[in-house]
Amino acid sequence: MSQNTEVEPFRTRLKTGISNFLQKYRTLLASLVGAAILITAGLALWTQVDAATKADFAARIEKSQADYLAWAAETDAAKKEAAGKTLEAELAKVQKEAPQGYGLSKAWFIQGNYFVAKKQWMDASKAFRAVFDKDKTSYLAPVALLNAAVCEEEAGDAAAALAIYGEFEKAFGTNALLLPQVYFTEGRLLESLGKTADAGAAYKKLLEKYPESGWTKLGRDRIISLNLE
């Protein structure tokens, strides 16, 4: 940890750590659009438990995040393996003991990114999915659910990814930041499954609901390419 830990307010260090974390690790780049905004905003809604418990789990989450970054940067194979086992144990303990709230959600989110870095797509999907399942109101929930879908895609299960994208629509139907990406991705996956008409419907939904989105031009191009105008 940096040497200014004792002079900076904890909340400042936590916010900075999260921002740096998201900037440096973009394995799921498409899914993390706007994640820094969502996660930073979530700091204001930290779970309302007693101050001592909150501080304890906040410190443990901060340590787990720091340990994840150290593990990711480690180049010695033996040390990396040992550090990974330690991190997994830390996160499992937090997941078992932490009260409902941002700290618990963040523990699962870190674990998701850890499995992504190891290309363990199904484990990553389950971890991200846990963020959503355990607290659908969390500011991490929309990003985590989108990440779960991307992991299913990486695992080669387009149908499972589509199911999660459909669930995202139901749960976060007013999320103008991420929905354009969801609609376009649904169209792309449906195309890959040979469901051209359904793909066209997804692209047209994108055009109708978000005509100014950057994803909309891509959707319009696909409609033209598929002769679905």
pLDDT value, residue 122:
97
- The answer to whether the pTM exceeds 0.85 is no
Given this model, what pLDDT does residue 98 score?
A: 80
Residue 44 confidence (pLDDT) above 70: no
Please check the confidence at residue 120 and state whether its pLDDT lies above 80.
yes
Closest CA to 108 of 82, 122, 88: 88
**Per-residue pLDDT tens over the stretch 176-200:** 999 999 999 999 999 999 999 999 9
Give me the pLDDT at residue 140, please.
Answer: 93
pLDDT in tens, 211-228: 999 999 999 999 998 887
Give the closest residue to 206 by CA, choosing from 190, 193, 155: 190
The pLDDT confidence band at residue 104, using thresholds 50, 70 and 90, is confident
Contacts of residue 209, defined as CB under 8 A and 6 or more positions apart, other chains included, come to 179, 180, 183
With beta carbons less than 8 A apart as the criterion, state whether 140 and 130 touch. no
pLDDT at 12 over 70: no
Phi/psi of residue 24, nearest 5 degrees? -85, -35
Percentage of the residues of the chain whose pLDDT score is greater than 70: 76
pLDDT value for 227:
84
Query: Regarding predicted confidence, which is higher, 183 or 49?
Result: 183
Residue (of 166, 96, 87) closest to 130 by Cα position:
96
Instruction: Give the pLDDT confidence score for residue 1 in this predicted structure.
Output: 43
Question: What is the pLDDT of the chain when averaged over all its residues?
Answer: 82
For 2-6, 111-115, 174-178, 195-199, which range has the lowest pLDDT when averaged over its residues? 2-6
DSSP label at 213?
S
pLDDT at 131 over 90: yes
